[in-house]
Amino acid sequence: MKEYTNGEVIVLWDPDKCIHSRHCIKGLPKVFDRDKRPWIDLKGASSEEITKVIDICPSGALSYRRVSDGEKKIEPSAQIKATKSGPLLIQGDCALTDEEGKVLKDKGPYALCRCGNSKNKPYCDGTHTERGFNDSQ
Ligand code: FES
Protein backbone atom coordinates (compact mmCIF):
# COMPACT_ATOMS: atom_id res chain seq x y z
CA MET A 1 0.00 0.00 0.00
CA LYS A 2 1.40 3.38 -1.01
CA GLU A 3 0.28 6.75 0.34
CA TYR A 4 0.28 10.20 -1.23
CA THR A 5 -0.96 13.43 0.32
CA ASN A 6 -1.53 17.06 -0.54
CA GLY A 7 -2.18 18.04 3.07
CA GLU A 8 -5.97 17.75 2.66
CA VAL A 9 -6.46 14.18 1.52
CA ILE A 10 -4.37 11.04 1.79
CA VAL A 11 -4.61 8.89 -1.32
CA LEU A 12 -3.94 5.20 -0.85
CA TRP A 13 -2.95 2.94 -3.72
CA ASP A 14 -2.91 -0.85 -3.47
CA PRO A 15 -1.21 -2.12 -6.64
CA ASP A 16 -2.30 -5.71 -5.93
CA LYS A 17 -5.96 -4.72 -6.34
CA CYS A 18 -5.56 -2.70 -9.56
CA ILE A 19 -7.40 -4.11 -12.60
CA HIS A 20 -6.07 -1.36 -14.92
CA SER A 21 -9.50 0.04 -15.79
CA ARG A 22 -7.79 3.41 -16.43
CA HIS A 23 -10.62 5.48 -14.92
CA CYS A 24 -8.03 7.45 -12.96
CA ILE A 25 -5.67 8.04 -15.90
CA LYS A 26 -8.50 9.11 -18.21
CA GLY A 27 -10.27 11.15 -15.52
CA LEU A 28 -7.31 13.16 -14.24
CA PRO A 29 -4.22 12.68 -16.43
CA LYS A 30 -2.37 15.49 -14.61
CA VAL A 31 -2.67 13.56 -11.36
CA PHE A 32 -2.49 9.93 -12.51
CA ASP A 33 0.25 9.37 -15.09
CA ARG A 34 1.70 5.88 -15.27
CA ASP A 35 4.72 7.14 -17.23
CA LYS A 36 5.87 9.37 -14.34
CA ARG A 37 7.47 8.45 -11.03
CA PRO A 38 5.81 8.73 -8.70
CA TRP A 39 2.81 8.03 -10.92
CA ILE A 40 0.44 9.96 -8.62
CA ASP A 41 1.01 13.72 -8.30
CA LEU A 42 -1.71 15.32 -6.19
CA LYS A 43 -0.65 18.85 -7.23
CA GLY A 44 -2.40 18.32 -10.56
CA ALA A 45 -5.98 18.89 -9.32
CA SER A 46 -8.09 19.93 -6.38
CA SER A 47 -8.88 17.50 -3.58
CA GLU A 48 -12.52 17.41 -4.71
CA GLU A 49 -11.56 16.49 -8.28
CA ILE A 50 -9.20 13.80 -7.01
CA THR A 51 -11.74 12.20 -4.66
CA LYS A 52 -14.41 12.29 -7.37
CA VAL A 53 -12.21 10.21 -9.69
CA ILE A 54 -11.18 7.84 -6.89
CA ASP A 55 -14.85 7.24 -6.08
CA ILE A 56 -15.28 5.59 -9.50
CA CYS A 57 -12.25 3.28 -9.19
CA PRO A 58 -13.98 -0.10 -9.77
CA SER A 59 -11.40 -2.28 -8.04
CA GLY A 60 -10.86 -0.23 -4.90
CA ALA A 61 -7.13 -0.08 -5.66
CA LEU A 62 -7.37 3.68 -5.13
CA SER A 63 -8.97 5.00 -1.97
CA TYR A 64 -8.60 8.08 0.19
CA ARG A 65 -9.27 9.59 3.55
CA ARG A 66 -9.42 13.21 4.56
CA VAL A 67 -6.59 14.50 6.75
CA SER A 68 -9.22 16.26 8.89
CA ASP A 69 -10.71 12.83 9.73
CA GLY A 70 -7.46 11.84 11.45
CA GLU A 71 -6.96 8.15 11.99
CA LYS A 72 -10.58 7.31 12.70
CA LYS A 73 -11.40 3.91 11.34
CA ILE A 74 -14.29 3.70 8.90
CA GLU A 75 -16.22 0.49 9.41
CA PRO A 76 -17.21 -1.18 6.16
CA SER A 77 -20.95 -1.47 5.53
CA ALA A 78 -20.54 -4.66 3.55
CA GLN A 79 -18.44 -7.79 3.69
CA ILE A 80 -17.45 -10.24 0.97
CA LYS A 81 -16.29 -13.60 2.22
CA ALA A 82 -14.54 -16.07 -0.08
CA THR A 83 -15.59 -19.47 1.20
CA LYS A 84 -13.24 -22.43 0.88
CA SER A 85 -13.83 -24.01 -2.54
CA GLY A 86 -17.23 -22.32 -2.77
CA PRO A 87 -19.04 -19.08 -3.55
CA LEU A 88 -18.43 -15.49 -2.52
CA LEU A 89 -20.83 -14.62 0.28
CA ILE A 90 -21.97 -10.99 0.23
CA GLN A 91 -23.34 -9.50 3.43
CA GLY A 92 -24.48 -5.99 4.25
CA ASP A 93 -25.17 -2.95 2.08
CA CYS A 94 -23.70 -4.08 -1.21
CA ALA A 95 -25.92 -3.75 -4.28
CA LEU A 96 -25.52 -6.15 -7.18
CA THR A 97 -26.29 -4.82 -10.66
CA ASP A 98 -26.21 -6.25 -14.15
CA GLU A 99 -23.97 -4.73 -16.84
CA GLU A 100 -26.60 -2.07 -17.64
CA GLY A 101 -26.82 -1.03 -14.01
CA LYS A 102 -30.18 -2.71 -13.29
CA VAL A 103 -30.27 -3.62 -9.61
CA LEU A 104 -30.51 -7.38 -9.12
CA LYS A 105 -30.08 -7.27 -5.33
CA ASP A 106 -30.12 -4.08 -3.31
CA LYS A 107 -28.21 -5.62 -0.41
CA GLY A 108 -26.87 -8.89 0.98
CA PRO A 109 -26.95 -11.62 1.87
CA TYR A 110 -26.45 -13.41 -1.43
CA ALA A 111 -23.88 -15.86 -2.81
CA LEU A 112 -21.99 -15.34 -6.06
CA CYS A 113 -20.57 -18.18 -8.12
CA ARG A 114 -16.83 -18.18 -8.42
CA CYS A 115 -16.34 -21.64 -9.93
CA GLY A 116 -17.97 -20.65 -13.25
CA ASN A 117 -20.32 -23.66 -13.36
CA SER A 118 -23.57 -22.29 -11.89
CA LYS A 119 -26.65 -22.52 -14.12
CA ASN A 120 -28.03 -19.46 -12.31
CA LYS A 121 -25.16 -16.97 -12.70
CA PRO A 122 -24.17 -14.73 -11.14
CA TYR A 123 -25.53 -16.67 -8.17
CA CYS A 124 -24.12 -19.89 -6.79
CA ASP A 125 -26.49 -22.85 -7.26
CA GLY A 126 -24.34 -25.42 -5.48
CA THR A 127 -22.88 -26.92 -8.66
CA HIS A 128 -19.38 -26.24 -7.35
CA THR A 129 -19.76 -29.23 -5.03
CA GLU A 130 -20.72 -31.76 -7.71
CA ARG A 131 -18.00 -30.39 -10.01
CA GLY A 132 -15.40 -30.71 -7.27
CA PHE A 133 -14.37 -27.04 -7.45
CA ASN A 134 -11.17 -26.61 -5.46
CA ASP A 135 -9.78 -23.10 -5.07
CA SER A 136 -6.39 -24.35 -3.95
CA GLN A 137 -5.47 -25.64 -7.43
S1 FES B 1 -19.45 -21.38 -6.66
FE2 FES B 1 -21.26 -22.46 -6.37
S3 FES B 1 -21.92 -22.98 -8.35
FE4 FES B 1 -20.10 -21.87 -8.67
Cα 8 from chain centroid? 23
Residue 115 alpha carbon, nearest atom of ligand 1: 4
Can you spell out the DSSP letters for 82-133?
E-TTSPEEEEES--EE-TT--EEESS--EEE--SS--SSTTB--SHHHHHT-
> What is the CB neighbour count within 10 angstroms for residue 63?
17
Instruction: Name residues contacting ligand 1 (CB within 6 A).
Output: 86-87, 113-115, 117-118, 124-128
Does pTM top 0.85 for this prediction?
Answer: no
Ligand 1 pocket, mutate which of 84, 110, 120, 133 (most atoms under 8 A from CB): 133
How far is 135 from 54, CA to CA, in rounded Å?
Answer: 31
Name the closest-CA residue to atom 2, ligand 1: 124
pLDDT tens digit sequence for 39-65: 999 999 999 999 999 999 888 899 999
Question: How does pLDDT run across 81-124, given as a tens digit for each residue?
Answer: 999 999 999 999 999 999 999 999 999 899 999 999 999 999 99
